[in-house]
Amino acid sequence: MGVFIVGLAVVVGGVLLLPLPGPGWLVIFAGVGVWATEFVWAQLVLRWTKRKVTAATRRALDPAVRRRNIMVTGALVIVVAALVAVYLWQFGWGPPWSGDR
């Protein structure tokens, strides 16, 4: 019963951390790890999660995927820079609601 309560407290803490900047998912997986010391279903969930994380890491480190991600990021940076330039050209440095225009 103690393992269940400690695991539940850790998982609930992780869920509360999800909308905040911080390691919410890591805390949730730590809670599942606590449960995995006692419950078979938690061991299966933890094993499935480890497989998925390993596969995602392998895909993310693929050179073709990295090259594509760099190109998409570069294109987005160019689009944002163009939008900022248009905004500054139209409105200047101050916010448009300041009434100075």
Angle between helices 24-36 and 2-17 (to 10 degrees): 170
Q: Quick one: 53 and 43 in the same domain?
A: yes
Q: Which two tokens stand for residue 49?
A: 């999660």
Instruction: Quote the tokens at residue 45.
Output: 């969930």
Residues 7 and 52 in one domain: yes
Rounded Cα gap, residues 38 and 9, in angstroms: 15
Look at residue 34 and tell me if it is in a domain. yes
pTM value is: 0.56
Domain count, the chain: 2
Q: What percent of the chain has pLDDT over 90?
A: 55
Please give the residue range of the domain that contains residue 88.
63-93
Residue 97: pLDDT over 80? no
* pLDDT, position 10: 93
Each residue's pLDDT tens digit, 3-12: 999 999 999 9
Which of 41, 30, 40 shows the shortest CA–CA distance to 8? 30
> For 32-69, what is each residue's pLDDT tens digit?
999 999 999 999 999 999 999 899 888 888 899 889 98
8 and 50 together in one domain: yes
